[in-house]
Amino acid sequence: MTALNTSLEKILGEIDDEACDRADPDRAKRRAEFIFHMTDGKDDLERLVRWYQAPEQFDEHEAKEIVAATLYHVTGHLIAAARLYDYVPDPFAASDPQEK
């Protein structure tokens, strides 16, 4: 843990502790993975927020980099964290198998 993220990582660990099976022998590893996945995209998310707040301050190349980082890097980590936290259904899956 870095000094900058100690509070955030502590809170995330406590959140994970509430969701996990205390008898799980891999609990510490799972907790560390959850914290990692929840924090690894932090810089990308902060950059996305800055872009949303002032898009005119970024050129097209920077905007594309921000979108790509969000879609490919951040999203992957959030899905991995969600799977560790609980079962994650596809929110966009068609409710009727005939719908697509």
What's the rounded Cα separation, in Å, for the pair 18 and 4?
24
The single-letter DSSP state of residue 4 is G
From the list 84, 71, 18, the residue with the least C-alpha distance to 44 is: 71
Per-residue pLDDT of the chain (100 residues; tens, 9 = 90+): 445 478 999 999 999 988 887 788 888 999 999 999 999 999 999 999 999 999 999 999 999 999 999 999 999 999 999 999 887 777 787 765 555 4
What's the rounded Cα separation, in Å, for the pair 59 and 69?
16
Residue 86, Cβ density class (10 Å: 0-12 exposed, 13-18 middle, ≥19 buried): exposed
> Where in the chain are the domains?
3-85
